[in-house]
Amino acid sequence: MNEINVIYQSRGGNTEVIAKAIAEECGVAAYDIESAVNVSGSDLLFVGMGIYAGKPDSSLLDYLDQLPVNVIKGAAVFTTSATGGEHAALVINLLEHKGIQVYPRHLNVKGKFLFMNKGKPGKDEVKEARDFAREVLDAFNG
């Protein structure tokens, strides 16, 4: 696998922490979607997002909607939210409609919000992110 990119959208920094752990495990940098990084031609694209009121931020959906069709081979999705619930279906569907093969398991990590989940994401969640990155790399390289 040649080209790996890690992009994320984060309002409060939770997703950024997890994105940086995944990127470090992959030996690349993590980029906020506001940066001008070109992810076209990625062999593997990790997409991270915060979940707000049960859904991803519209800026991430807009970013993904602008991706060209059939130029990114594979993707893996990770989320952070106060509830840690399952909220990635919309993004997965959008990626698949762009012709991107999405890794079947995605990572959901609890993040802090106001008084909830103090100290999250912490070292356990960072380890979980690193493990997820290795799992995805192994699957896409195998």
CATH classification of the domain holding 123: 3.40.50.360
- Write out pLDDT tens, residues 113-126: 555 556 566 788 89
Looking at the structure of the chain, the number of domains it has is 1
CA contacts within 13 A on the Cβ side of 56: 26
**CB atoms closer than 10 angstroms to residue 15:** 28
Q: How high is the pLDDT of residue 78?
A: 95
**What is the distance between the alpha carbons of residues 112 and 129, in angstroms, rounded to a whole number?**
16
The pLDDT value recorded for residue 118 is: 62
Write down the pTM of the prediction.
Answer: 0.90
Q: What is the pLDDT of residue 115?
A: 53
Q: Measured at the alpha carbon of residue 30, what is the angle toward residues 24 and 81, in degrees to the nearest 5?
A: 95
Predicted local confidence at residue 6, as pLDDT: 97
Residue 52 is predicted with a pLDDT of 78
8 contacts 15 by C-beta, under 8 angstroms = yes
Residue 20's domain spans which residues? 4-141
Nearest alpha-carbon partner for 130 in 100, 107, 97, 99: 107
Taking 50 as the pLDDT cut, the residues of the chain under it are: none
What pLDDT shows up at residue 54? 78
